[in-house]
Chain A
Amino acid sequence: MHDAHASRAGETSVPLTASAVLVNKVGLHARPSVKLTQCAKRFAAKIELALSGDGPWTDAKSPVKVMRVKAPQGATLHFRVTGPDGEVALAAVLALVHDGFGEA
């Protein structure tokens, strides 16, 4: 359900962006927030998320900040990723959202 054409400008300093819809029942609640930040922390890239394509952007590696986003089921999460492993990082967080964080 995400934007298949993640915008890409070639250079790592230019952010990659993509979005995905929250499919799991509780949305971006406590447990999904933990899973998302844990996933984001595996990468060196700067990973941010927002409820709108133009922000405000939240550090996806901060569990407290991610929990405060409070996005419900059906909301669209926008990601903005910068860094050498940005592409893999973006794929990983999108996959996690698509899988409903492994929840119903």
Chain B
Amino acid sequence: MNSQDRGNVGIVIVSHSPKIAEGAADMVRQMVGNAVPLAWTGGDVDGGLGTNVAGILEAIEAAWSPSGVAVLVDLGGAETNSEMAVEMLAEDRRARVVVCNAPVVEGAVIAATESSGGSSLAAVKRSAEEFYA
């Protein structure tokens, strides 16, 4: 819990639907506030339903924090693409990004709540994943 000096853990929301991703981000902002770096992405490269690695990489960049970034995803491809994106990050960043096994909306709110209290990346992930515990 010594992440205060490095800033709060960032949160990235990845959904097949850009509307869901944006809406979940709105909920996080309203419920948790602005103390947490937050970014969302959704849709395939043509703007249809889906996810794309480039968009996820951009979102991770936008929500970057030296304390790390927790990624919340919805279905199958969102997870696979997010894991792919994490692997494509520079090596020093790769270890500081985690994909959470949690529902995307609830997980994002919980992860952001945890992060807003200055918790570590591991604590943020653990808290979001309590939903499926």
Do A and B pair up? The answer is: yes
Question: Which residue on B lies nearest to A36, using beta carbons?
Answer: B113
Q: Indicate if B127 sits at the interface (CB-CB under 8 A).
A: yes
Question: Which residue on B lies nearest to A33, using beta carbons?
Answer: B113
B32/A34 in contact, CB under 8 A: yes
A34/B109 in contact, CB under 8 A: yes
Kindly state the separation between the CA atoms of A30 and B119 in the bound complex, as whole angstroms. 20
A interface bracket (residues with beta carbon within 8 Å of B): 10 to 19
B117/A64 in contact, CB under 8 A: no
Q: Indicate if A12 sits at the interface (CB-CB under 8 A).
A: no
Which of B30, B31, B117, B130 lies in contact with A41, CB distance below 8 A? Answer: B117
Which of B116, B118, B127 lies in contact with A64, CB distance below 8 A? Answer: B127
CB-CB contacts of A26-47 with B at 8 A, as 1s and 0s?
0000110010011001100000
B: residues with CB less than 8 A from A are 30-32, 109-110, 113-114, 116-119, 127, 130-131
A: residues with CB less than 8 A from B are 30-31, 34, 37-38, 41-42, 61-65
What are 7 A-B pairs at a CB distance below 8 A?
A30-B109, A34-B31, A41-B116, A42-B117, A62-B127, A62-B130, A63-B109
